[in-house]
Structures are given as C-alpha cells and as structure tokens.
Amino acid sequence: MNLGTRDYTSPRSPSFGQKRRSLVLRAVAKDSPLRRYDWVLLAAVVALSLIGTLLVYSATQPSADPRSYLIKQLINVALGVILMVVVSLLDYRQIRLLAPFVYLAAVLGLLVVLSPLGSTVSGAKAWINLPAGFQVEPSEFAKIGLVLVIAVVFGELRDGGRVPGPKHAAGVLALAVIPVVLVEREPALGVLILLLLMTFGMIALSGLRLRWVAALTAAGLLAVVAVFQLHLLRSYQLDRLTSFLHPAADPTGTGYETIHSKIMIGSGGMFGTGLLHGPLVTASFVPNQQTDFIVSVAGEELGFVGCAVIILLLAVVIFRALRIAARADDQFGLLVASGIALWFGLQAFINIGMTIGIMPVTGLPLPFVSYGGSAMFADMIAVGVLQSVHRRHPVFR
C-alpha cells in the first residue's frame, strides 16, 4: 500500500544522535518530530478540550466555585498536552517496551482502588485519593494499558506465525479479564462494557481467522444471555441498562437522568440558549452535568449546531486515528492506533447516546470534553501514542 512520499533527507531516527542540539533547533530542524506531527489531530483534540473547558465552566455555575473548576480543567488540559507531547516524542518501540508496565500499573491501580485507599464517588469505588486533594481514576489508564498490551501480544507473534491464532486470542482475553474483573468490583459497568468491546474489536482487527472471530462473537453473545438469565447483574445495574428504553416508567428514579437530559438537549433547539444562559443547566437538573452529562449542557446552551461541532471534532479525532492505523508501518502500530480509535469511538457513542436516550446510562465521560484529570491525561497519552505511531511510519516501512 502506497502511503505517499515524504521528503526525508536522512533515514536516521531523531531519537538517535544529535544530542547536542538545543531544544528549539531540534524542534525546527528538518527531521524534527514536530514536522511529522498530525496537526489536524492535534487541533481537533485541543479544540475539543477548550470547548469542553468552557462547557465545564458553564456546567459548574450552580456550584459554589465555578472558577476553580475552570482553572482545574485548564490545568488538566495543559498537563494533558504536555503528557501528549512527551509521549509523542517517544519512539514507539520504546512505547512497546513500556506497554506491559503501563498495563501492570493500571491493574495495580485498580487493585489499590478496591483496597481501603480507594474512595467512592456516586456509588462507584473508582478513585484513589492522593495527597493535596488529588484523585486518580485508574480505570481510565486501564483503557490505554489494555490497548497497548493487546497490541503487543498481537504485534509480535512469538511463535513465528503469520496470523494470530486462537492461542493468541485466548492470551489477549486473559489479559483483558484481569482489569474487567477489577472494574466490575468497583463497580463501573460502563468501563467494563467498553473494555470488553475494545478487546473484542482488537481481536477482530488482529487478523484472527474469521471463523474464530465468529466463534468468539457467538461465545460473547451466549455470555451476555447468560448474564441476564442468571441474574449476574446487580438489580440497579439491570435497571440502569434497561430504563433508557422506557424512562417514564420511573421518572424520579432510574429514568430521571434520561428524561431530563433529553429535555435539556431538546430544548436547546438549533442554536441553543447561549453559553452560561441555559436555565436547566443553571438549575442543575441533571447530576454530573460537568462530567458524564456534559453533552446535555452543550445541547441546551449550544444547540444542535454546538453538538454537531463536537461530534464532527470527535469524528476528526477518530478518523485521524484510523488513518494513522491504516498507514502504520507494522501490526503493533496498526493495532494501537485502531484500538485507540475504537476506544474513543465507542466511548463517545455510549456517552452521547446515553444523554439522548439511545444508550443506557453508564458512567463514562466524553473524551476530551468531560471534566476530570485522569480521563484527560489518559486520552492525551493515547493521542501522544497516535502521534508517535504517525511519526514513525515512514521509517519502518
């Protein structure tokens, strides 16, 4: 496949040599990593983050101190961008080497969450309290960790085979089960579903023979049926999963968020009420409107136009990720980039879908837009990985 020509003067990797050059010179040099950045992706991510920051500011107006939310989220974005740049500067073979550690760190974090060090917010024990009032949500890092480690497994088939077989798929499943089980203990149903779908998607993309993919699909469907039949879900989880279909049945209980989020979004109309001018936002009708229900705020205050812009920017991010996957030099790069695309795509769909009543209400933030440090950092690290893959593909053609 022809991925176009690039005007490299040197086949050397920028990671090697030129240790003496200043940072500025390196940045502007012909072989500078910045020159090989995916600027469209970066612009879309920054735009989403800034829109998100404004929405967070608006969404927290009913709180005591909306300004502090604004500042915190701006810091989150800034730190996220720095993290992204740092990661993007890594050679992605280095990333491959780091992948198991990221995965292990995330699993360790999930274990710590379940220990007495974990803290509970709105029913889910998903956070670790750090000194100085900071909190970390390890499940966000589990997403990038799982993507990386699956790509590692499928990216270099140790037994020398050309195409991954059921053995590899089983190994990947085993790796996925650990964070899935830990996330289930929190419980964070949204993350659980996302991790399973991502794992399944990456197995399908790995090149595993279709018959095995079909078998896995069948097994997965059977498992879903079994979960419902054997009542393995907690009753509130089952209510959550089904109430979006008939929210009016329990308008003050499980259907509450669906009903009021739809009213918020619907009442925004074409152009919305204007930022900071949404009466329902001001009255904080939907809980967690700065995190999981940030789209409700966008819907009321920015209208259809504002929501469409957010969806288009997300589309840019996801399609750039898929483009990077398609152009990746090797299987690892392809799988990492497409795994991230899957992650962002699924999470965006589930999150926006729940605010407009076509998906169950599960606790997943909207990538780059929702308030929260851990999510922002994890998302930005993923973008850094994408940039790294993007930067590398001509060299390892």
Partner 1 sequence: MIPASHRRLIVLYAIVAALLISLGGRLWYLQVMNGQSYVRLAVQDQTQTVITPAVRGQILDDAGLPMVDNASSLVVTVNMMNLAAQSDGGTGVLHRLAHLLGMSDKLLTEKVRLCNAQVTQPCWPGSPYQPIPVADHVPDSIAVQIMQDHAQYPGVSAGVNPVARYPQPNGANPAQVLGYLGPITAQQMKQQHLPTTGFSGVDLVGQAGLEQQYNQALQGTPGQQVLSVNSAGQQLGVIRNTAPTTGNDLVTSINARLQGDVQNVLSSTIRKAQLQGNTHATTGAAIVMTTGGRVVAMASAPSYNPSVWTGGISQKQYRQLVGKATGVPILNRVTQGEYAPGSTFKITSTAAAVKAGYSLSGTYNCPASYNVAGHNFLNDGQKSLGQMSMHEALVISCDTVFYELAYGIYQHDHTRDNVVVSPKAPMQEMQKMEVAWGFGRAPGIDLPEQGAGSIPTREWLYYLWKGNAHTGQNWCKYGRANGTYVQQIEYQDCHYGNVWEPGMAAIAAIGQGYVAVTPLQLANAYAALANGGRLYSPRIGEAIISPTGQVVQKVKPPLIRRLPVAGSTLAYIRDALAGVTTGAGTAAGAFSGFPRSKVCVAGKTGTAEVFNSSVTSVFASFAPCTNPKYVVVVMIPNSNYGAEVAAPAARQIYDDIYGLEGHKAALPGGNLPRGLPKISSSGSITAPAGYGGS
The footprint of partner 1 (CB under 8 A) covers: 1, 62, 162-163, 201, 204-207, 260, 262-270, 279-280, 282-287, 299-300, 303-304, 307-308, 311, 314-315, 318-319, 322, 325-326, 330-331, 334-335, 338, 341-342, 345, 348-349, 352-353, 356-358
CB 349 within 8 Å of CB 56: no
Q: How far is the CB of 142 from partner 1 (least distance, A)?
A: 22
Q: Select 138 or 299, whichever has its Cβ closest to partner 1.
A: 299
Which DSSP state fits 246? Answer: S
Q: How far is the CB of 172 from partner 1 (least distance, A)?
A: 14
CA-based radius of gyration for the chain: 21
Q: What is the Cα–Cα distance from 180 to 348, expressed in whole angstroms?
A: 20
Q: How far is the CB of 54 from partner 1 (least distance, A)?
A: 19
Could you tell me the two tokens for 140? 């966000």
CA distances from 195 to 115, 233, 272 (A): 22, 17, 34
Q: How far is the CB of 366 from partner 1 (least distance, A)?
A: 11
Q: What is the Cα–Cα distance from 327 to 175, expressed in whole angstroms?
A: 27
Q: Select 43 or 311, whichever has its Cβ closest to partner 1.
A: 311
Q: How far is the CB of 290 from partner 1 (least distance, A)?
A: 14
Q: How far is the CB of 195 from partner 1 (least distance, A)?
A: 17
Listed in order, strand segments (DSSP E) in the chain are 118-121, 124-129, 135-136
Question: What's the number of CA atoms in the CB half-sphere (13 Å) around residue 163?
Answer: 10
Q: Select 76 or 254, whichever has its Cβ closest to partner 1.
A: 254
Q: Select 1 or 23, whichever has its Cβ closest to partner 1.
A: 1
| Nearest one of 2, 12, 4, 100 to 395, comparing CA atoms | 12
Q: How far is the CB of 280 from partner 1 (least distance, A)?
A: 6
Q: How far is the CB of 309 from partner 1 (least distance, A)?
A: 11
CB 168 within 8 Å of CB 154: yes
Q: How far is the CB of 209 from partner 1 (least distance, A)?
A: 8
Distance from the first to the final alpha carbon of the chain? 10
Question: What's the number of CA atoms in the CB half-sphere (13 Å) around residue 101?
Answer: 5
CB 195 within 8 Å of CB 204: no
Q: What is the Cα–Cα distance from 307 to 296, expressed in whole angstroms?
A: 9
CA dihedral (280, 284, 290, 294) positive or negative: negative
Q: Select 37 or 256, whichever has its Cβ closest to partner 1.
A: 256
Q: Select 96 or 260, whichever has its Cβ closest to partner 1.
A: 260
| Nearest one of 320, 378, 322 to 39, comparing CA atoms | 320
Q: Select 24 or 64, whichever has its Cβ closest to partner 1.
A: 64
Q: Select 351 or 374, whichever has its Cβ closest to partner 1.
A: 351
Q: Select 173 or 203, whichever has its Cβ closest to partner 1.
A: 203
CB 52 within 8 Å of CB 295: no
| DSSP one-letter string for 10-21 | --S-TTSS-TTS
